Structure 1
Amino acid sequence: MTEFEMEDIAAALVAPSKGILAADESTGTIKKRFDSINVESTEESRRDYREMLFTAEGVSDYISGVILYDETLRQKAKDGRPLAEVLSSQGIIPGIKVDMGAKPLAGAEGELVTEGLDGLRERLAEYYELGARFAKWRAVISISDSAPSQYCIEANAHALARYAALCQEANIVPIVEPEVLMDGDHTIDDCYAVTETALKAVFDELYKQRVVLEQMLLKPNMVISGTTCPEQADAEEVAHKTVYCFEQTVPAAVPGIVFLSGGQSEAQATEHLNIMNELGSHPWELSYSFGRALQASALTTWAGKEENVAAAQQAFIHRCKLTSAARDGEYGTHMETAS
């Protein structure tokens, strides 16, 4: 693959009207999701659930790429085709989560650093052979009276840049995900300050480690009030402050910003994305890389029952359609209730 092909893949992932489905929940995380609908989490039930999403009619109209978990990338659909092939045959680009999760950061109580760099070069080569053409690495930054420390921000920025450089060496487009968590009672201005600091550190490290910005995507949080903050910022303020923050920190060479939903409801994440795109043209595409905010309705509708598959796929496509409209700045809350 040439460098231009990596640029083409990055551009295709943020094509108009399309975004990324994050279906890369770890085995532990998807177990929690399945527990909420009283479904046992087995290799087969996880495969059935994800295959249901990947084969929903019309999914490729709204989804440009899917981030897979290691297990899923190796699984086969009921018809015997690898799930990666099920996606690529529809023009959807398979991706892979490559980090090994956030672990306690030595010398910084309560703070986390993402691990998974050991052996990553070899894993990326294998993932490429299995069909993955982009990857994701998530760093987690929390806000409290004592956090985040500059040490935590820099440790995570360094790891994100090392990961991104290894991806590009392997002809895989890196999605760089520094997530400032919503958990806590912090204000939207606290979130703004931490997000700005984190993004400046991340791009400083990406530059030092020779990552080509045209061949990567950024997956950040929105600038938003903490979940238990008494004064919740409205959707207009979230959108304006988020865009302003990125104008201060994200180079125009980055082809796209694919937001994480980060615990927001489906409707909330969609409304915020829509207002940002209504604000006019930006140096980068503003799209989505949602997990729960694309899957929640489909998951509860499915409830692990074969007879609910068609209705669950319908719920999933409805959500994709609304999120796609928001990605183009054409969403209205009245669309939530339309069939």
Structure 2
Amino acid sequence: MSQELIEHAGAMVAHPKGILAADESSPTLTKRFVAHGLESTDSTRRDWRETLFSSPGLGEYVSGVILYDETFNQTTTSGLSFPNFLVQHGMLPGIKVDTGAKPLAGSDGELVTEGLDNLGPRLVDYYTRGARFAKWRAVLQIDQAKPSAICIQANAHALARYAKLCQESGIVPIVEPEILMEGDHDLATTRRVAGTVLAAVFDQLRSFEVLLPGMVLKPSMITPGTTGPTATAREIGEVSVECYRDVVPASVAGIALLSGGQSDDMATANLAAMNEIEALPWPITFSFGRALQDTPMKVWASSGRDRQRTQASLMDRVTATASVLRPRHLVNV
């Protein structure tokens, strides 16, 4: 099982591929549909995702797709389950398994991600039905005394327990500690907080003896707050890589960055800046959701749900993003 985990984790970050995050919950996707004047039903949500996943050539640049439970349980118009459909198109099926961020007792409005109850049996079931990786997202906010030590530790502990349960079920865990962009903090503040959060996460992962070559880290890019001082892509790239080098072990299979609400172009530019830095101990790729889907959704809505035009828009975004990934001889640091 360890070898299978390592092989799948390596495939998820293999050049020149990244991961498509299509795991928005039904309520979240409904909000995006409504904003574009689209009706949201289980059928229209299925049609949207099938349109994306069936884009010709997608598997050349996307190693795997993170699914929401609704999609995982649906079938395509041809009668295939979505996990089987993805495999046929050269992509690994993934599944979001957390149940969302809820208020953390003893904190000042902070959140902890839940979903550990009955997670083991759920993972076994997902694996049996085709899932080969999973995702769990922790959410942390920068604001005065936030994130607090209790919030950092609670989320790090949950991420590690989730990761261990995944690996016991043969599933590669994507470990996602997201630091939200909202706020007026500067780049140095985000760098400090991210370093503290990631160090706590890896302390917990080690304590649970999580197989690091059999996991993928999905951190935030180190950016200033949305209303804070601006920073260039080069500054963001250099500070982000410096932070990851300080705390992310070289044995981790790879880093697949989240876009975190950045624009398409901004997320790609920051990813490019990181890939221009030589001699990294792990590949750095993408695990984007909105940064890949926003423009195609506009096309889908404005074109009367035209499949070919929507797919062409997605492939434009995917190829532009994948083009900034650089193969390199990885070194240990």
TM-score (normalizing by structure 2): 0.97
1:3 is displaced (CA, Å) by 1.1
Per-residue Cα deviation, 1:204-255 (whole angstroms, up to 9, x for no partner): 00000110101000000000010011x2111110000000000100000001
Q: Cα offset for 1:35?
A: 1.3
* 1: CA distance, partners of 2:16 / 2:327: 9
2:265 maps to what in 1? 267
Aligned to 1:47: 46
SS of 1:39's equivalent in the other structure is: coil
2-structure distance, mates of 1:194, 1:136: 22
CA–CA distance in structure 1, aligned partners of residues 117 and 90 of structure 2: 32
Residue aligned with 2:306, SS: helix
Paired residues of 1:113 and 1:156 also in contact (CA < 8 A): yes
- Tell me if the contact between 2:15 and 2:327 (Cα under 8 Å) persists in the aligned partners: no
Q: What's the offset of the Cα at 1:327?
A: 2.0
Tell me the distance in 2 between the aligned counterparts of 1:238 and 1:304: 34
Structure 2 match to 1:279: 277
Structure 1 distance, partners of 2:99, 2:110, is: 16
Alignment: residue pair count: 328
Displacement of 1:304 in angstroms is 7.6
- Give 1:274 shift: 0.7
Q: State whether structure 2 residue 140 is matched by structure 1 residue 107.
A: no
Identity, % of aligned positions: 51
Q: What corresponds to 1:168 in structure 2?
A: 167
Deviations 1:66-108, CA, capped at 9 Å, x for gaps: 0000010111000111111111012100000000000000010
Is the CA contact (8 Å cut-off) linking 2:257 and 2:284 kept in structure 1?
yes
Give 2:295's aligned amino acid: S
| Cα distance in 1, alignment partners of residues 313 and 233 from structure 2 | 24
Indicate if the aligned counterparts of 1:278 and 1:329 stay in contact, CA closer than 8 A: no
2:331 maps to none
2:139 partner SS? strand
Task: Please name the residue that 1:36 is paired with.
Answer: 35
- Is 1:201 the counterpart of 2:203? The answer is no
- Give deviations 1:140-175, integer Å, cap 9, x for gaps: 000001211011000000000000000000000000
Are 2:248 and 1:250 equivalent residues in the alignment? yes
Tell whether 2:198 aligns with 1:239.
no
Structure 2 residue 328 is matched with structure 1 residue 326: no
Alpha-carbon distance between aligned partners in 2 of 1:126 and 1:186, rounded to the nearest angstrom: 42
Q: 2:299 aligns with which of 285, 301, 306?
A: 301
1:286-318 Cα shifts (integer Å, max 9, x gaps): 000000011111000001865522111000001
Change (3 A) 1:192 1:307: closer
State whether residues 45 and 304 of structure 1, in contact with CA within 8 Å, keep that contact through their aligned partners in structure 2.
Answer: no
What is the CA-CA distance between 1:32 and the residue it aligns to? 1.4
Shift of 1:268: 0.4
Partner of residue 181, structure 1: 180
Structure 1 CA distance, aligned partners of 2:78 and 2:304? 16
CA RMSD of aligned residues (A): 1.2
Deviates more, 1:273-282 or 1:66-75: 273-282
Gaps of 5+ in 1: 331-339
Q: Which amino acid aligns with 1:281?
A: A
Indicate if the aligned counterparts of 1:74 and 1:130 stay in contact, CA closer than 8 A. no
Q: In structure 1, how many angstroms separate the alpha carbons of the residues matched to 2:29 and 2:94?
A: 18
Q: Is the 8 A contact 1:276 1:329 kept in 2?
A: no
> Helix, strand or coil for the counterpart of 1:31?
helix
Amino acid at match of 2:101: A
CA displacement, residues 21-56 of structure 1 (integer Å, 9 cap, x when unaligned): 000001111111111111121100100000000000
**Counterpart amino acid of residue 275 in structure 1:** A
Q: Distance in 2 between matches of 1:180 and 1:68?
A: 22
Q: Is the 8 A contact 1:176 1:217 kept in 2?
A: yes
CA distance in structure 2 between the partners assigned to 1:219 and 1:294 by the alignment: 16
Cα separation, 1, equivalents of 2:27 and 2:280:
37
Contact preservation (8 Å) 2:98, 2:136: yes
Q: Which residue of 2 aligns with 1:20?
A: 19
The whole-number CA distance in structure 2 between the counterparts of 1:311 and 1:328 is 28
Equivalent residue letter for 1:296? D
Unpaired runs of 5+ residues, structure 2, are 329-333
Letter in 2 for 1:4: Q
